[in-house]
Structures are given as structure tokens and as C-alpha cells.
Amino acid sequence: MKGTNLGEFQELVLLTIGTLYPNAYGVGIKDEIRETTSRKVTLSTVHAALNRLEKKGLITSSFGEATKIRGGKRKRFFTITAYGLKTLQETRQQREQLWNAIPEQVFNVNWQV
Amino acid sequence: MKNKSVHPPKWANRLLEWYCKPELFEDLQGDLYEYFERNLEAKGSRRARFNYVMDVLKFFKPYTVRKLEILGQLTQFIMFKNYFKTSIRSIGRNKLFSAINVFGLAISMSVCLLMITMFSEVKNYDRFHADHDRIHRVTNAQKYLNNEPNLFASTSILAGRRLKEEVPGLEAATIITRSFSADAKIGDNTFPFNAPWADNDFFKVFSFNLLRGDATAALSEPYSVILTDETAEKFFPGQDPMDQTILMNEQSYRVTGVVEKPPFNSHFKFSALISFSTYEQQQKQTEEDWWLNWHNMWSNYAYFKLDKNTTIDQVQARLTSIADDENSRQGQTKIFLSTQALTNIMSGPDLSNQLGESIGNEALWILGVLAFIVILSAGFNYTNLSIARSLRRAKEVGVRKVVGASKKQVFTQFTIEACIISVCSLILAYLLFFLLKPLFLNLSPEMQRSLKLEHEPIMLLYFLLFAIVVGISAGFIPSLFLSRLRAIQVLKDASTTRLFSKINLRKVLIVVQFTLSLAFIISASIANRQFKYALNFDLGFDTENVLNISLAGNDPYLTKAVFEQIPEITDISMSSHVLSTGNRYANQAKSEDGLDSATVYLSQIDHKYIPLMGHELLAGTNFVAKDRVEKEETVIVNETILNKFKLGTPEEAIGKVLKFGPTNSLIVQGVVKNFHYATLDSEIESFAFRHQPQNAQMLNLKIMSENIIDTRRKIEEAWLEFDEVHEFRGSFYDDRIEAAYSEFEVMFTVVGFLAFITITISALGLLGMGVYTAETRLKEISIRKVLGASEGSLIRLLSRGFMWLLLIASLIAIPSTYYLFDSVLLSDQAHRADIGVMELILGVMVIFVIGFTTIGSQTWKAAKSNPAQTLRSE
């Protein structure tokens, strides 16, 4: 299935949602990604990713209280679902397996040459 | 936070709202806003706003954009075919209901088509004139003391002159005076000739098409004549009419122009025009100045065209001050001036002394309202029957809804069905329209003169539009009702009757329908009664077997000599016009000391008139026979004039003097009993018989004969031998009176016809409802029958509800119609028939008989049915 494989950016967004819990929302996620990865992401890319994740069922969202900033609009807070968490862990395991499978010599090669 | 007041561009927000899915919109906009505020502080307002717009555009992605709604509408469109098909099928399945609907709608629509054509024709009157919206005419309101003013389309020459000289801001103004009448001699031929006088500015105001001659000068010289192309062809066949000479009354007139015959939709028509300077010259020669009197307002018209920058109010203000100026020199009768737009003449208020035709807004309103009522009634039928029938279609709606039809779609479906019915009706109505048209036009000669009821192709589009509007309105309630049905309820319950039991609307509609029908019947019978009343009214003189003949300009004495040869004619008198048929002539009269003055209506007669007509002399004697050159010395007056001039009792009045005009001081020779010289809608006012047989326009022949028709033919033959030029125009007095009251007859016919239509439609509706009730309650009836109910009691049970409705309808209709006629429609009639109980009861009887027959027949059928048959199939 499509959902079992996370894209790189989607994984990033998913992880960020986790770190920002329980206050992960659009602009917040974007800022966080920018800070940690110093990548230039735009709001629309983040939104698109959030939308896909939600469609896949990896995250859910709920509206918060309306505040005076944001033109009186409510924030939509995202949280990782159990399925999302499982997918994250699977991805991590896959990575770890691959990490562990790398022979020791690779690390000892003097790349400086 | 100094930039707090800066906001993102509004249009960007609107764009976002337009394309974004509603569920995503709030969060998206919030995020964008937050970002915007941050940018505002960091990068300034311009940059922030730019970024905002860019972001809005960037968000335009498949997942944010809402699904295209065209898709939904496309489904509607695709479904059209299906709706059409199901509609046709359901129409075909319910043949009776569809027939009732189509037939009822078609009848009433044909009436409406007639009205639409009529209205558009009336509205197009006089619009062929260039700048028709700037052309107006002066109208007069004559007011005696504090009485209701009498309104006239005519005005005085004086007012016309002052308008031309003193009112600024007019492009042109013209005075028209009717009506010159003479025999036109051209070579050896003689033609009857009638024409108004018109001054030289005539063609500056109107755009009648002058074919030959100079528009700026054709009417300037005295004794100039402009002929229409039609008249020119008649007078000078095959010759050039220009500069030809016409001899009239020993005067030669020169033809200075040829004008195209006025089109049908001109409110006034003429066959020729004579220069107004002719009239001026003739009047100056008489050395009387009555023609320039403020009160000489009976046969002159003033039309004017405004400058582009002048408003009609400015002209009105000047006219008011002119009227005030003139009235300050007048006695008790004052005349006020006002204006009327050219395009409003045909459909405007009812004025006396019209120059041409006018239908009048009152008649138009009445006809419009009546047509609306008729179509309303048919619409009610559709609504009623459709709701009743919807019981059957509830399942269909249920299935449609389960399959996924939305409320809107179901609504559309049933609206389309209604429209199909109404368009079908339109086709039938269009055929009926052609049947109805000649009948309508033949109602009265005036209608024939002023209406053609021909429609241009564009009207067909209006008709179609009208049919669709009717369909949508008639189908609105049933469609709404059906689209609201809940699928589960409809499909679950085998008997959906419960859903419909609460609808009182149907009852209300039936009551309204029958109230209207009743009102129509009652109105028709009241109008009929008033007409009969007017015909049989004792006018105060004897009209029986009197044949009035128009002299057509012939010498009265010579003509009289011709008819004296016929033995069946027992007596002949002369008079200026036929009294009691609507025509009136008046003059100002003063008392001997000149202090009292009043308008006195006149008739000019010879010494034979009063005994021939059987007028009763209360005092004094009849005129004595006099030669035509002998001076007029005496007058015979009616009773009312005695009060006005304080002449005392009839006996006392004899020998007193009244002044008519500046030169005529006449001694009262006799007093006649008051009689109706005008129509019954006006009171009897001052009236005088003048002894001027030389001015006679009519001969009154008293006939004593076994065979009236034969005698009339003899008279006509004698006339034709005597005068070959003019056609014979004679009619019996009673027929003339009948013609004068033809408005009542027209009203009776129209209302009677509409009453017939509404009753037919209502009865059809009732029939439909009866069928429906009988069908739905068939099982109940059968069970009751099995349990021992008699047929009589069943019929009573079923028809009771309807009879109640009819009763309520009559309780509403009788008092309201009575009130309408008593206080509104007939209130301006001075003499009128009482509204009898019979008229009221009769209408109710008719309605009940019809109602009972339709309902009774259906319930009787149901009650007669064999219960075994109906109950077996459960």
C-alpha cells in the first residue's frame, strides 16, 4: 500500500508533529522544520504534506480555540495517530536494520584521500 | 505594532474563499494570516501583502480546490431528458387530471393572451412620433363651486394661445379644433368632408408623415387644406392633388399638402386638416368673442413638445399660474389646467371630449385584474390536483431520493412537469385566442376602432415566457411539497395518506376559487340588471317609435318636405342632437341682471319637438311656429334652472329673462318637467331648449306603422333619392339609448364570459378533487357499505366536506361583492338599480348546483361500487 512507505519530507513533518506535541499546527511545523533542518520550506508544501498524511490516516487534526491573532481564525492542531506512530517506528527499524548492516570497513575508510 | 491596521489584500482573501474547500478554508486562511503578520513586522507591509498574494496563489492545488459545481449542474442537465420522459409518462397515465389541467389552463391562458396583446398594443399607441416622450397635451378640469371637477381632454383656444406665447421651454405647441364639416365640391363631384382645424406648428409637434408640401408653411395661410393620401386619391383620382381647389360652403380651399394616413396606433385620426387661420378669420368676421372665451373649452386641444431641458413640472407651474390669472376674472365655475403625456392618452384616466380614442386606465385595470383572477383560478386547479395526486407519486420521489436525488432535483423535476403542462396549454390557448379575438373586438364599435389585437412574432416569445411563468408558479407548491418528502417515511408506510391529511391548503384554494366564481356570477347579474334598468328608466319623455335621422348638412326644411310624403310618418320635428345618449352641448347663461351665471346644457329644436317627444310642460306654452329668419325670442327651460337663477315656481318663471351670450336675451316661455338629457351617471342640471330650427342637425320622425322595418326601408329609399352623396344615418331612439349604455352591456358580456370560464375551471377542479376523494376512500366506503351504510348516507358523508367549503365561499363572496358594487363601482352612478337579493341568491344557487352535481356524481359512483370487487384484492 501507498501508506506504508513514507516520503522523506513526510517523515520529517511527521516527526516534527511528534516533537511539537500537543501544539503542532501549520505555521509551527513549518518554523520547526526550518530551524532544525535549515531547509527553505513554504507553507503550501507543509500543508500539502499534512493533507496527504491525514488522508493516509497517519495524523488526525482538531480545531483549537479561536484567538485574536490569525485574524480570529482557529488553529488546526495535528497529532500522530497510532497507525502513524507504528509507521514511524517501522521506518526507523528499517533504517536501523540498514545502519546495522553497513560493514565496519565503510566507516574506517579514509575519505580524505 | 504600528502596522496593526494593515490587512492582507481583500481580493486575495476572496479568491481563496472562492476556490478553497470550505473545510480547509479556515485553517488555511489562519495560517496565511499568521504568516502575514510575521512578515509585516519583518519585511514591511508591501512585502507582506505580496507574499500573502503569492501564498494564496501557491495554495491553489488540487487538494484545496473545491469540486467544480458545474458538474452538479451538468447532472441536472443530463437528468432533463429523464424528467421530461417521466413527466410525459405521468401526464399520459393520469389522462383525466392532465386533461382537466391542460383544458383549464388553456381557457384561462387564452384570456390572458388576449390581455397581453391588448396591453402591448395600447402601450405602443402614439409611439411612432419622434420624441413621443416629450409630447404632452393640456387638459382641463372644470369645477363649479366645491363640486367634484369634471375632467376634459379639451381646453380653450385662449389657454392654447397663452401656452404658445407665455410658457417658456417648449420646442413647439399646436392648437387643434374640431371639427369642420361640409360638402366638398370638386368639379362635378361632391364628397362629405370632415376635418379638424390645426395650426401651422402641427408638424413641429407631431411626426405624421407629410408626403407633399412644406411642413413649415402648409397650414399657415387661411383656406389651406392638407389631405391624407387616402382622401387625395378619392378626391383627385389619378391627378396631382397639390394646389387643387376644393369648394366648400361657397369658399374655395387650396390643397397645400398631402400627409400619410395616420397609422392605426395614433390616438387621433383624420382624413384631412384645415389651417387654423381659416377658423380664426371666420370667427373674427362674426364679431363675437365667445371663441376666445376661457370657458369655450369643448372642442379645442393644445399639444406641445417640451425642450430637452424642460421638465413637465415647470410647464405645469406656468399653466397653473395662467389658470389662476384667468379664474380670478371668472364667476363660480373655474377651470384648471393640467397636462397629460401623449403616450398616456390611450391608457390614461377617463376624460370627456376626447379628440380620438381612449380606452382609459379604468377599463384596462378591470380587464387586467379579471384576467389575472381567471388564470389564478386555473393555477389553483393545477396546484390542488397535483397535491392530491402526489399521493401516487410519493413512492417515485422516495425511490429517486434513495438513488441519490437531491431536494433541488426533485423540485426541478416537478417544476418541469408543470411547465410541460402549461406549454401544452399554451398551444391550445393560442388556438382559442384566435377564436376569442373576433368575439372580443365585436363587443363594441369603440373596441373595433381602437384595437386590432394583432401580434408581432416577438409576442410569441412573450407568450412562451408567460406560459413558463404560469407553469413555475402553478407548480411551485406541489414541487416544494414533493421535494420535501422523506424517503424513508414514504417508502416504509404503505399508506402515505397520513402525510397528506394535514394539508389545509387545498381547502383554502377551493374556497378562494369558488369565492371568485361567485363574485363573477353576482357581478355579471348586477351589471345586467343595471343595463336593463338604464334601458327601462323613465327618462321623462317618450322615445318609442321615434326615428332620428342625421341631416348630414342638408337643409332641414327641404329634408322634412321629402319625408312628409311618407304616410307612416305621423309627425316630424327638428333638433340639434339626440338627447339622453351621452352627447351634451352647453353654453354660459346669465340672469337678467348679469349677476348669476351658470353652464346651461342646450338643445336647439323647432316648435314640434316638445309635443312629439311627449315632454310635460309644467307651466307656460310651447314655442310657436316661426320662420327661419324670424328672430329667436323665447326659451323653454327645465326645473333645475329655476333654482339656479332663483326664478321661483314654474308659474312665476314665465316671462322672466335669461341671457345667452352677449346678444340673446330670451324670455322664458315654458318650463318642462325635469328629464334626463344626459346618461344616467350624471345628475340633472340646468337645461334649456332654444328655438333655433335653422340649426337642426337631426330630424325626429314619429312613426305609426304595422311594419316598422318596412317603413324604415321606405324612409331610407326616400333619403337616397334626395341625397346621393351622404349615406343614410338613421336609428331608432331606443336603439340609440341602448348603444349609449353599451358599456354596461360590454361589462355584462365580459364578466359573464369570465364568470362562465371561472366556473368551468372551478367545476373541473372540483371534479378532479371528487375523483381523487372517491378513489382514495374507496376501501373505506366499501367497508362502510359492508357494515350496512346506505348509499344516501355515503354520498352525504363524502360530499359534506365540499359543501362546507362552498358555503364558506358564499359567505365570503356575497358581502364582499355587494360592498364592491355598492360602494366602489356603482357609487358614481347618479341613478342606479338596487342590488337585489335575487342576484345574490341566484349566484349561490348556481354554484351549489354545479358543485353538488360534480361531487355528487363521483361519490355516487363510489357508493354504488360493489364492495366485493374493491375489498377482494387486499
* Per-residue pLDDT, B828: 67
Residues in B touching A61 (Cβ below 8 Å): 27
Give the span between the Cα atoms of B63 and B56, in whole angstroms. 14
B580 cis-preceded (ω within 30 degrees of 0): no
Residue B499 reports pLDDT greater than 60: no
Question: What is the arithmetic mean of pLDDT over A82-100?
Answer: 90
Whether residue B497 lies inside any domain: the answer is yes
Give the closest-approach CA distance of A106 to chain B in angstroms.
Answer: 43
- Domain assignment present for B474: yes
Shortest Cα distance, chain A CAs vs residue B71, angstroms: 24
Residue B432 has pLDDT above 90, yes or no: yes
Report yes or no: B303 and B136 within 8 Å, Cβ to Cβ.
yes
- Residue among B29, B31, B63 whose CB faces A48 most closely: B63
Q: Which residues pair with B665 in a beta bridge?
A: B659
CB-CB under 8 Å, A76 with B34: no
Cβ neighbours of B48 in A, within 8 Å:
none
Q: Dig out the grid coordinates for B355 from the structure.
A: 379628440
Please report the pLDDT score of residue B304 as a whole number: 94
| CB proximity list for B786: less than 8 A, separation 6 or greater | B867, B871
A71 chain-B contacts, CB cut-off 8 A: 29-30, 33
Extract the C-alpha cell encoding B778: 374507496
- Asked whether residue B77 is domain-assigned, the answer is no
In sequence order, which residues have a C-beta less than 8 Å from that of residue B77 and are 6 or more positions away? none
CA distance B258 to B264: 18
Mean pLDDT of B826-846: 75
Say if residue B770 is in the same domain as residue B852.
yes
Nearest to A70 among B34, B59, B63 (CB): B34
Chain B residues with beta carbon closer than 8 angstroms to that of A27: 31, 34-35
Per-residue pLDDT tens digits for B131-158: 999 999 999 998 877 778 888 899 999 9
Q: Specify whether B747 is located in the same domain as B724.
A: no
- pLDDT 10s digits, B237-265: 988 999 999 999 888 999 999 999 999 88
Alpha helices per DSSP H over B442-577 = 445-450, 457-483, 487-492, 497-500, 505-536, 556-563
Q: Nearest-CA neighbor of B767 among B863, B865, B853?
A: B853
Residues B381, B405, single domain; the answer is: yes
| Distance (Å, whole) CA B156 – CA B160 | 6
In three-state secondary structure terms, B178 is strand
| Grid cell for residue B527 | 351589471
* Extended strands (E) in B22-147: 135-144
How large is the angle between the packed helices B837-864 and B791-819, nearest 10 degrees?
150
Rounded to whole angstroms, how far apart are CA atoms B247 and B256? 14
B83, A71 Cβ separation under 8 angstroms: no
Q: At what angle do helices B742-776 and B361-403 cross, to 10 degrees?
A: 20
Residues B585 and B672 in one domain: yes
The pLDDT, as a whole number, for residue B348 is: 85
Task: Judge if B450 and B494 occupy the same domain.
Answer: yes
- Whether B777 is covered by a domain: the verdict is yes
Q: Is the pLDDT of residue A2 over 50?
A: no
Percentage above 70 pLDDT, chain A: 92
The residues with which B807 forms a beta bridge, in sequence order, are none
pLDDT for res B503? 61
Site from B13, B16, B27, B29 to mutate, A interface, most A CB atoms within 10 angstroms: B27
pLDDT 10s digits, B372-417: 989 998 999 888 888 877 777 888 888 888 888 888 888 988 999 9
Mean pLDDT of B220-243: 92
Please state the rounded mean pLDDT for residues B344-359: 84
What is the torsional sign of CA B599, B601, B603, B607? negative
- Same-domain pairing of B793 and B699: no
Q: Which of B805, B799, B576, B538 is nearest to B698 (CA)?
A: B576
What does each C-alpha distance from B67 to A15, A56, B37, B581 come to in angstroms? 32, 20, 31, 76
The per-residue pLDDT for B113 is 93
Lowest mean pLDDT among A71-75, B128-132, B501-505, B569-573: B501-505
Residue in B155, B136, B154 with CA at minimum distance from that of residue B293: B155
Same domain for B198 and B321? Answer: yes
Q: CB of B50 within 8 A of CB of B44?
A: no
Side chain identity at B665, as an amino acid letter? Answer: S
B848-869 burial: b if 16+ Cβ within 10 Å, else e: bebbbebbbebbbebbeeebee
B630: burial class by Cβ within 10 Å (0-12, 13-18, 19+)?
exposed
Q: What is the pLDDT of residues B696-738, one digit of tens each?
A: 889 999 988 888 888 888 888 888 888 888 888 888 888 888 8
- B578-630 residue pLDDT tens: 888 777 777 878 888 777 778 888 888 999 999 898 898 888 889 888 877 77
For residue B494, name the pLDDT band (cuts at 50, 70, 90). low
In a mutagenesis test of the A interface, which of B13, B34, B57 is the best target, namely the one with the most A β-carbons within 10 Å?
B34
Residues in Cβ contact with B347 at an 8 Å cutoff, skipping those fewer than 6 apart: B122, B123, B125, B359, B360, B361, B364
CA distance B79 to B412: 10
If you average pLDDT over residues A46-63, what whole number do you get?
A: 87
d(CA A77, CA A29): 10
**pLDDT (average), residues B408-437:** 92
- Strand pairing category for B251-259 and B224-228: parallel
pLDDT at B829: 67
- The secondary structure element, H or E, covering residue B87 is helix B70-93
pLDDT at B3: 45
Q: Between these two residues, B527 and B341, which has the higher pLDDT value? A: B341
CB contact under 8 A, B31 and A43: yes
Whole-angstrom Cα distance, residue B317 to residue B337? 10
Q: Are B142 and B154 in contact (CB under 8 A)?
A: no
**Does residue B560 fall inside a structural domain?**
yes
Contact at CB, A73 and B30, closer than 8 angstroms: yes
Q: What is the 3-state secondary structure (H, E, C) of B129-158?
A: CCCHHHEEEEEEEEEECCCCCEEECCECHH
Q: Is the ipTM above a cut-off of 0.90? A: no
C-beta separation of B483 from B415 below 8 A: no
Query: Could you tell me if B659 and B566 lie in one domain?
Result: yes
> Crossing angle, helix B95-123 and helix B70-93, to 10 degrees?
120
Task: Locate the DSSP E strands across B557-596.
Answer: 569-575, 586-591
Q: What is the pLDDT of residues B742-753, one digit of tens each?
A: 777 787 788 888
Rounded alpha-carbon distances, angstroms, from residue B858 to B232, B244, B750, B766, B774? 69, 79, 32, 10, 7
Q: What's the grid cell of residue B176?
A: 387643434
Tell me what pLDDT residue A112 has.
59
* Per-residue pLDDT, B553: 79
Helix or strand run (H / E) with residue B740: helix B733-740
Q: Determine the pLDDT at residue B71.
A: 59
Residue B62's closest chain A neighbor by CA? A48
**pLDDT for residue B472 is more than 90:** yes
If one counts the domains in chain B, the total is 4
Task: Report the phi/psi class of residue B624: left, alpha or beta, with left for phi > 0 and alpha for psi in -120 to 50.
Answer: beta
Rounded CA separation B688/B661 (Å): 14
Report, as an integer, the average pLDDT of B787-805: 85
The answer to whether residue B123 is domain-embedded is no
Minimal CA separation from B7 to chain A, in Å = 9
One domain, residues B380 and B489: yes
Instruction: Please state the domain extents for chain A.
Output: 2-108
pLDDT at position B159: 93
Dihedral sign for Cα atoms in the order B639, B640, B643, B644:
negative
Domain A2-108 is in which class? mainly alpha
pLDDT, residue B2, reads: 42
Nearest one of B744, B797, B739 to B773, comparing CA atoms:
B797
How many pairs of residues across A and B have Cβ atoms under 8 Å apart? 58
Say how far apart CA B169 and CA B175 lie, in whole Å.
Answer: 17
What phi, psi does A104 have (nearest 5°)? Answer: -60, -35
* pLDDT tens digits, one per residue of B275-314: 999 999 988 888 778 888 888 888 899 999 999 999 999 9
Query: Is B110 within the bounds of a domain?
Result: no
Q: Write out the residue range of the structural domain in which residue B219 sits.
A: 136-344
Given phi > 0 = left and psi -120 to 50 = alpha, else beta, which region is B510? alpha
Burial of B446 (0-12, 13-18, 19+ CB in 10 A): middle
CA–CA dist A85, A58 (Å, integer)? 8
Confidence of residue A111 (pLDDT cuts 50, 70, 90): low
Q: Which residues of chain A have a Cβ shorter than 8 Å from any chain B Cβ?
A: 25-27, 42-44, 47-48, 51-52, 61, 63, 69-71, 73-76
Which chain A residues are closer than 8 Å to B59 by Cβ?
A: 43-44, 47
Closest CA to B273 of B172, B190, B198: B198
Query: How far is Cα B382 from Cα B425, in angstroms, rounded to an integer?
Result: 12
**pLDDT at A3 > cutoff 50:** no
Residues of B in contact with A76 (CB under 8 A): 26-27, 30
Task: Indicate whether B810 and B680 sit together in one domain.
Answer: no
B283 and B157 in a single domain? The answer is yes
Nearest-neighbour CA in chain A from B30: distance (Å) = 5
B28–A47 C-beta distance less than 8 A:
yes
The percentage of residues in chain B with a pLDDT greater than 70, rounded to a whole number, is 96
B127 located within any domain: no
B742-776 vs B837-864: helix axis angle to the nearest 10? 20
